[in-house]
């Protein structure tokens, strides 16, 4: 993802939509209040604060933590804002810090969100409270703006941090989608009679009709992405959307026949595409839809790029001591997920266009059957009349 910070018509720069806040609570063990709030901090154009329950909120023996919109009383009715955030209770050894991530749409009436059972209170004595009795809580907030051309934007550093934790989940989202579509096409092609009939229908269409059926407006596809892949309160949704956006950008670069980013390709050429971008349209790269569908059905079930080493403990370790190793891991995750994003974009577009063609095909088959039934009824009616005439002559004789 490009690490740009350019003003646009939406007002805030990308860097202003993300921010951190560190709250140092002195003499934590001596706090007697049921709830305790941090100072107000501004991120993404909104004021926030952390609300802490040292003895738990409606639960016992737990530390409860919530992110709150600070000035919710001043918000207009109907106001809402989507945000992804991470709250961390820091340990003396940073690698042992306790992290929790979530995604939430804040409303005027639902202006706080977090965890009643963030962590058990006895565990705080195991290195979370420093020698001076101070407890440190770090908060990272990513305000997510609504845009047509880029519905979800994540700060580069924040994304690469949480990707390591949720990599396998995101990978499975894309893998499952591609495999379901691939399997659907495979079953169609294995049905020789139906596949032949579908081919006859497609090849029987005039060139202009095939051309119109082989494209779709980009905004229709982008809305389809959001509808299919985004689920509010699911923390992986913005990351998946960001990967799809990066996949789209890679596809645009490939369409322009420019050399793709070495970071993404590592001196390898991308596989032959299924679709290309033509201004505000997605277009199939070949008029031979049958060939493209056959290619899609033969896609490998494995990931499109080599995966980072599968080390669950390493995935949970969000703070690396070896910066070179950290950079290598970030690059490996980004390469793999961006390629998954590109492949998923292509299969999504191909499936969308195929679905349109399939609807037209089914309508044509239904119309053909209806015409055949009408002809059969007409022929039956003619035979009936002939038989009646013949029967009448026999009686006269």
Q: Is residue 277 part of a domain?
A: yes
88 and 172, same domain (yes or no): no
Q: Is 30 helix (H, G, I), strand (E, B) or coil?
A: helix
Q: Residue 386 falls within a domain, yes or no?
A: no
Range among 39-48, 247-256, 308-317 rated most confident:
39-48
SS3 content of the chain, % helix, strand, coil (to 5): 50, 20, 30
Same domain assignment for residues 131 and 217: no
Residue 287 has pLDDT above 50, yes or no: yes
Residues with Cβ within 8 Å of residue 28, at least 6 apart in sequence = 54, 124, 129, 133, 134, 135
Helix then strand count (H, E) for the chain reads 9, 12
Same domain for 118 and 84: yes
Which position has the higher pLDDT, 317 or 220?
220
As given in the structure block, the two tokens for residue 303 are 């990931």
- In this structure, are 183 and 246 located in the same domain? yes
**Which of 121, 144, 167 is a domain's end point?**
144
| Average confidence (pLDDT) over 186-207 | 95
Question: Is the domain of 76 the same as that of 53?
Answer: yes
Residues 203, 350: one domain? yes
Query: 301 lies in a domain?
Result: yes
> Which two structure tokens, joined as six digits, stand for 394?
């026999």
pLDDT at position 268 is 52
Give the gyration radius of the chain's Cα atoms. 29
* Residues 183, 140 share a domain: no
In the prediction, which pLDDT does 202 show? Answer: 95
- In terms of domains, do 164 and 86 share one? no
| Residue at 302 is within a domain | yes
Domain assignment present for residue 137? The answer is yes
Rounded to whole angstroms, the Cα distance separating 3 from 330 reads 14
User: Do residue 282 and residue 324 come from a single domain?
Assistant: yes
How far is 144 from 230, CA to CA, in rounded Å? 13
Cα separation, 383 vs 389, whole angstroms: 10
Residue 52: inside a domain, yes or no? yes
Q: Residue 361: which pLDDT band, with cuts at 50, 70 and 90?
A: very high
Same domain, yes or no, for 103 and 183? Answer: no
CATH number at residue 104: 2.60.210.10
The HSE-up count of residue 300 (CA atoms within 13 Å, CB side) is: 7
Cβ neighbours of 158 (radius 10 Å): 21
Contact 296, 350 (CB under 8 A): yes
Q: 311: which 2 tokens?
A: 């080390």
In the predicted model, what is the mean pLDDT of the chain? 85
What is the reported pLDDT for 270? 62
User: Hey, which bits of 178-226 come out as E strands?
Assistant: 215-217
What is the average pLDDT across 290-305? 80
Domains in the chain, number? 2
Q: For residues 118 and 65, is the Cβ–Cβ distance under 8 A?
A: yes
Q: What is the rounded distance in angstroms from the CA atom of residue 173 to the CA atom of residue 153?
A: 19
pLDDT of residue 335: 84
* Helices 156-190/289-297 angle, 10° precision: 110
Q: Could you tell me the two tokens for 348?
A: 């999504």
| Residues 77-122 pLDDT 10s | 899 999 999 999 999 999 999 999 999 999 999 999 999 999 999 9
Q: What is the mean pLDDT of residues 299-305?
A: 62
pLDDT on residue 45: 92
Please tell me which residue, 49 or 287, carries the higher pLDDT value: 49
Confidence band of 379 (pLDDT split at 50, 70, 90)? confident
- Encode 291-305: b = buried (16+ Cβ within 10 Å), e = exposed: ebbebbbebeeebbb
Q: What per-residue confidence (pLDDT) applies to 191?
A: 97
* b/e sequence 133-156, b meaning 16+ C-beta within 10 Å: eebbbbbbbbbbbeeeebbbbbbb
Maximum Cα–Cα distance for the chain, whole Å? 124
Q: With bands split at pLDDT 50, 70 and 90, how would you rate the model's confidence at 65? A: very high
Single residue among 144, 176, 207 that ends a domain in this structure: 144
Output the pLDDT for position 372.
84
Q: What is the pLDDT of residue 96?
A: 96
150 has pLDDT over 70: no
DSSP H helical ranges for 233-322 = 237-255, 262-265, 289-297, 312-316
Q: Is 9 part of a structural domain of the chain?
A: no
Spatial strand order of the sheet with 215-217 comes to 215-217, 281-284, 275-278
Kindly state whether residue 93 falls inside one of the protein's structural domains: yes
As a whole number of angstroms, the distance between CA 139 and CA 347 comes to 37
pLDDT confidence band for 3 (50 / 70 / 90): very low
Position with higher pLDDT, 253 vs 141: 141
pLDDT, residue 27, reads 94
For residues 272 and 131, state if they share a domain.
no
**Shared-domain flag, residues 35 and 73:** yes
More confident site: 308 or 202: 202
Domain boundary among 99, 123, 144: 144
- Over residues 221-269, the pLDDT tens digits come to 999 998 999 988 899 999 999 899 889 988 888 888 654 444 444 445 6
What the block records as the tokens of 135 is 């407890």
Please give the Cα distance from 227 to 240 (Å, whole number). Answer: 12
pLDDT band at 373 (very low <50, low <70, confident <90, very high): confident
Look up the domain containing 80 and give its range. Answer: 14-144
Q: Confidence band (pLDDT; 50, 70, 90) for 329?
A: low
């Amino acid at each position: 993802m490009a690490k740009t910070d350019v003003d646009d018509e939406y007002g805030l720069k990308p860097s202003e939509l993300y921010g951190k806040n560190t709250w140092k609570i002195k003499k934590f063990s001596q706090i007697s209040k049921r709830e305790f709030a941090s100072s107000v901090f501004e991120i993404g154009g909104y004021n926030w604060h952390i609300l802490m329950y040292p003895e738990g909120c409606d639960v016992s023996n737990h530390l409860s933590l919530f992110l709150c919109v600070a000035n919710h009383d001043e918000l207009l009715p109907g106001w809402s804002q989507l945000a992804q955030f991470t709250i961390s209770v820091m340990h003396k050894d940073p690698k042992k810090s306790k992290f929790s991530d979530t995604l939430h749409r804040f409303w005027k009436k639902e202006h706080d969100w977090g965890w009643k059972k963030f962590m058990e209170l006895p565990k705080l004595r195991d290195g979370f409270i420093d020698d001076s009795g101070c407890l440190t809580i770090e908060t990272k907030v990513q305000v997510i703006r609504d845009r047509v051309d880029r519905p979800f934007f994540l700060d580069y550093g924040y994304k690469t941090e949480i990707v390591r934790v949720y990599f396998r989940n995101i990978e499975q989202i894309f893998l499952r989608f591609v495999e379901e579509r691939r399997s659907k096409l495979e079953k169609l092609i294995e049905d020789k009679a139906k596949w032949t009939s579908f081919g006859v229908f497609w090849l029987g269409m005039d060139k202009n009709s095939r051309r119109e059926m082989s494209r779709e407006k980009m905004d229709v596809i982008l809305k389809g992405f959001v509808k299919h892949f985004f689920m509010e309160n699911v923390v992986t949704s913005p990351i998946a959307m960001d990967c799809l956006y990066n996949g789209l950008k890679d596809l645009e670069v490939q369409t322009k026949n420019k050399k793709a980013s070495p970071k993404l390709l590592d001196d390898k050429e991308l596989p032959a595409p299924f679709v290309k971008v033509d201004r505000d349209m997605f277009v199939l790269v070949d008029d031979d839809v049958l060939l493209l569908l056959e290619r899609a059905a033969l896609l490998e079930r494995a990931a499109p790029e080599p995966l980072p080493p599968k080390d669950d403990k390493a995935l949970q370790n969000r703070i690396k001591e070896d910066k070179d190793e950290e950079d290598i891991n970030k690059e490996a995750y980004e390469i793999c997920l961006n390629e998954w994003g590109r492949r998923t974009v292509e299969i999504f577009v191909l499936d969308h266009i195929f679905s349109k063609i399939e609807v037209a095909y089914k309508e044509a088959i239904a119309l053909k059957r209806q015409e055949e039934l009408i002809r059969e009824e007409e022929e039956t009616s003619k035979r009936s009349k002939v038989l009646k005439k013949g029967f009448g002559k026999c009686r006269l004789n």
